[in-house]
Structure 1
Amino acid sequence: MEFLGSVINYILNLGAPVFVPFIMLIAGLAVKMKLKNAVSAAITLGVAFVGMSMLIGFMVSAIGAAAQTMMARTGLELSIIDGGWTTMANVSWAWPYAFAMFPLQVGINIVMLMLKKTDTFNADLWNVWGKIFTAFIVVAVTTPIFGAVPSLILAFVIASFQIIMELNAGDIHQHRIEKLTGIPGVTCTHRMIFFGAIYYPFDVLLRKIPALNRPMDAAALREKVGIFAENHVIGFILGIIFGIIAGYDVAAILMLGVQAATALMLFPMISKLFMQALSPISEAISEYMNKRFAGRKLHVGIDWPFMGGASEIWFAVIVAIPITLIWAVILPGNKILPFAGIINIALIVPAYLITKGNTLRMVILSIIGVPFFLLIGTAFAPMITELGLATKAIDIPAGQLISNSSIDAPVFTYVFSFLFTFLRGNFVPLALGVFWAVGYFFYARELRKEEKADLAASQEVKE
């Protein structure tokens, strides 16, 4: 068992740019793709992941540094270090039972496909660490309540539920994602899209305001304001504003403007590589499934970066940075200083999907969403720090706490980790869980209705 765990951890530790293309290569060959086409698509997918990672790192080093300068100018001291998602992943993989999560995810996916409870093949196996993260938080919170063994069992039950919900989220979002990205047969199975359930009730209210219910994606903005809606121009303007607020000199301000313009201009270019890689694989899988399962369509679920070509996402990501810093300063109970997680994709991608790229509503929703990330990041800090120290996965100074200001699916993870603390008088997770569940139900219903309506409309056109 220890050997199996070592092998699984070694493979997964190769990282998404190696591991995910490898899975897609195997999937392509399994559905009879030509070897040269499958290899080409897999390598292109790896290049796309590396390119997206490089650009995000570039943004973090340039814009993140300016954000920290802005925070330093306030003189505010927040005690919890923001280690970002990479630190959370390292801590998660160090959990003693981490190796068991990979076969659990694969097994559940296979069973659900066979029983026709999902049409999504989750190829995002590298992000299995997200289930590990949930599981070890569950153990940390519930062991004092139930004891060690029952808490461990409960952790894997909740992780299994998360696996099932990721497949369900992939199913219900696939049609809208295909409309937004133009990539057929692909969906997102990353847990970050769970946060759409929190956004949904607020977005329903925002839609009732006429000014907020008009087309306001990148294309619509270009028609209204011309060059000022171009990616590189938006990036340059935002970079200049950030530089001025951070107190940079003229040369540094201009350089930050050009760096931000570079990032926003290159993101759509990198996104095209995802389309180039994923389209032939998804088409091969669909063709294979149609031959063997008449009328059944299989979707491929992967991480969010294939949606990274949407200008709306990056506009909202940058605008959300000062919003996050303001909330960090004024939010009662927050102890985390946003740093490594300042480029908060998990805050924006669900807003992009739920608003269909309406930039103004995306920004408003991000204002509503940031407090959830900060407060839950603060709540998780003791458990994350304790596991990090116990496993020596990360080097933490004595007396220092570490967490993440952009934990993926913060509400879902918090609710199902802290749910049973109601036995000790804490009913906040239970109430928040009800809110999340209701939001998810009605959001899922809307997505299903949209898919059926579009299908009926396309059939009418054909007739």
Structure 2
Amino acid sequence: MGIILDFIQYIVDLGAAVMLPIIIFILGLFFRQGIGKSLKSGLTIGVGFIGIGLVVDLLNQNLGPAAQAMAERFNVQLSVVDLGWPGTAPFAWGSDLGLIAIPVAIIVNIIMLVTKTTKVVNVDIWNIWHMAFTGAIVQVATGSFWLGIVGVAVHAAITYKLGDMYKPVVDEYFGLEGVAIPHGTSAYMGVFAKPIDDLLELIPGVNKINIDTETLEEKIGVLGDPTVIGALLGLIIGLLAGYTVPDSLMLAVQMAAVMLLMPMVVKFIMQGLLPISDAAKTYLNKRFTDGEFLIGMDPALLLGDPQVISTGLLFIPLTILIAAIVPGNEVLPFGDLATISFFIAMAVAIHKGNIFRSLISGSVIMYITIWISNQMIGLQTALGEQVGLVSEGTRVSSLDQAGSPITYILANGLNGHFPMGVLIIFIVYVLAVGYTYISAKRGKLYVSDEVEL
């Protein structure tokens, strides 16, 4: 057992850009795609993730400091810095449940496939860190290793069901047929979008407002082009941060580059994934009736949409503003600001790219996320101290995962701790999930314009 865990740790330490190509290569061989095609698929996906990593680094290294400077300039007094997912994932992998979470999540996936309670075949092993983090936090909250395992298993089951639920959205809006995006903030926070979308549809006048990059480009010409929008938003953020004009212009060009490059690098992942997806579906459909399996992949694939990136950039200053008005909040959004698009990606799709509606549901999403992350400061700090990543006297939190309703509810529920805040989040979240699930079952989660016509 120890040798197996050591091997898993070795693979995990390679990082997603290396781990996924290896997994894809092995899957290609398993699904009888051949050595050459499997190798090409794996390497193409690796190239795509390297590209995404470079673009995300461009965001983190340039947009992150601008956001921090903007918060300081407007005197946003928040003392606990958001570590972001890059700073939080090591907490999960370094915990007692880090490596064990991988076989637990895989076993849950196999059981659900066999019992036909999911169609998601998860190959995104890296993002199991979300489940591992939930289990680790539950263990800290309860003192029980086995309740931590329960936390991992419950989060895994919810994740795969979210992948099933969003199938029409991923198919129709993002055009990723045969793919599921079950992981991370995009999936578990996207459930708030459908009830908000239907509510907005009932308001006369408001239900007619539709803003997206294509509409803007039609009405205002080149100023509505996604690349130009990225440049304008970068320039505005730079000026709000107090940057000089030259530095603000540099940030503008960097954000224009993000808007232009992100869709390009996502295409490499799809080029590598589609042959594997087709081979997997052919293999599985021969052996199982009622197939139509979905390959579970990283939410980074959703960042190829210009509406998602545009809305994410708008949420850089907006998230800081929301953090300043959340009652009792101490968390300063920082580490996750540059990748805020992950939080609202599924919501943007449910709103069919309508940036106006996405700003409304996104504000709700970020408000809830920040409020929960503030409640989780103590538990994440304790976990950080256990794994040796937080020094004594330092307090930390993160928007990604520490701000998750799933982690918050399980940590308190399995500990038998039900203050008013937990009950409210539990009720609101269950209602949002239930409403979205029923909408999906009725075929109303995403209805394309062609069908409506």
Q: Which category of TM-score, normalised to the shorter sequence, fits these structures?
A: over 0.9
1:315-394 pair list within 5 angstroms: 315-343=310-338, 344-392=340-388, 394=389
CA contact under 8 A between 1:121 and 1:300: conserved in structure 2?
A: yes
Question: C-alpha displacement at 1:334, in angstroms?
Answer: 0.8
State which of 163, 169, 189 in structure 2 corresponds to 1:176: 169
Q: Which residue of 1 aligns with 2:118?
A: 118
Tell me whether 264-273 or 91-100 shows the greater mean CA deviation: 91-100
Tell me whether 245-254 or 198-207 shows the greater mean CA deviation: 198-207
1:177-256 pair list within 5 angstroms: 177-192=170-185, 193-209=187-203, 210-213=205-208, 215-256=210-251
Q: Which residue of 2 aligns with 1:160?
A: 153
CA contact under 8 A between 2:214 and 2:225: conserved in structure 1?
A: no
**What SS is found at the alignment partner of 1:96?**
coil
Q: Which residue of 2 aligns with 1:147?
A: none
**Which amino acid in the other structure matches residue 354 of structure 1?**
I
Normalising by structure 2, we get a TM-score of: 0.92
Matched, 1:436 2:438: no
Residue by residue over 1:124-168, the C-alpha shift from the partner in whole angstroms, topping out at 9 and shown as x without a partner, is 11111111111121122233xxxxxxx332222232111111111
Q: Which residue of 2 aligns with 1:411?
A: 405
Q: Which residue of 2 aligns with 1:449?
A: 442
Question: C-alpha displacement at 1:262, in angstroms?
Answer: 1.1
**Which amino acid in the other structure matches residue 380 of structure 1?**
M
Long gaps (5+) in structure 1: 144-150, 459-463
Q: Which residue of 1 aligns with 2:252?
A: 257
**What SS is found at the alignment partner of 1:401?**
coil
**Which amino acid in the other structure matches residue 362 of structure 2?**
S
Distance in 1 of aligned mates of 2:378 and 2:372: 11
Distance 1:113 1:130, change over 3 A: same
Distance 1:14 1:424, change over 3 A: closer
Residue by residue over 1:247-283, the C-alpha shift from the partner in whole angstroms, topping out at 9 and shown as x without a partner, is 2222112111111111111111112112211221111
Residue by residue over 1:57-110, the C-alpha shift from the partner in whole angstroms, topping out at 9 and shown as x without a partner, is 101222222111111213343221222112211111121232221111111111
**What SS is found at the alignment partner of 1:308?**
helix
Distance in 1 of aligned mates of 2:169 and 2:130: 24
**Which amino acid in the other structure matches residue 417 of structure 1?**
A
**What SS is found at the alignment partner of 1:403?**
coil
Question: C-alpha displacement at 1:224, in angstroms?
Answer: 3.1
**Which amino acid in the other structure matches residue 188 of structure 1?**
I
Task: Give the root-mean-square deviation of aligned CA atoms.
Answer: 2.3
Tell me whether 405-414 or 331-340 shows the greater mean CA deviation: 405-414
Question: C-alpha displacement at 1:311, in angstroms?
Answer: 0.4
**What SS is found at the alignment partner of 2:295?**
strand
**Which amino acid in the other structure matches residue 278 of structure 1?**
L
1:61-140 pair list within 5 angstroms: 61-140=61-140
Distance 1:425 1:198, change over 3 A: same
**What SS is found at the alignment partner of 1:329?**
helix
Percent of matched pairs sharing the same residue: 30
Normalising by structure 1, we get a TM-score of: 0.90
Distance 1:339 1:424, change over 3 A: closer
CA contact under 8 A between 1:135 and 1:156: conserved in structure 2?
A: yes
Matched, 1:277 2:272: yes
Distance in 2 of aligned mates of 1:379 and 1:424: 13
Q: Which residue of 2 aligns with 1:314?
A: 309
Distance in 1 of aligned mates of 2:429 and 2:47: 36
Distance 1:28 1:47, change over 3 A: same
CA contact under 8 A between 1:331 and 1:371: conserved in structure 2?
A: yes
**Which amino acid in the other structure matches residue 278 of structure 2?**
E
Long gaps (5+) in structure 2: none
**What SS is found at the alignment partner of 1:206?**
helix
Distance 1:305 1:76, change over 3 A: closer
Q: Which residue of 2 aligns with 1:148?
A: none
Distance in 2 of aligned mates of 1:366 and 1:452: 17
Distance in 1 of aligned mates of 2:215 and 2:34: 41
Distance in 1 of aligned mates of 2:106 and 2:231: 44
Distance in 1 of aligned mates of 2:425 and 2:62: 36
Distance in 2 of aligned mates of 1:401 and 1:453: 41
Residue by residue over 1:332-390, the C-alpha shift from the partner in whole angstroms, topping out at 9 and shown as x without a partner, is 21111221111223421232233232111111112222222222222222222222223
Distance in 1 of aligned mates of 2:36 and 2:49: 20
Question: C-alpha displacement at 1:319, in angstroms?
Answer: 0.5
Distance 1:435 1:186, change over 3 A: same
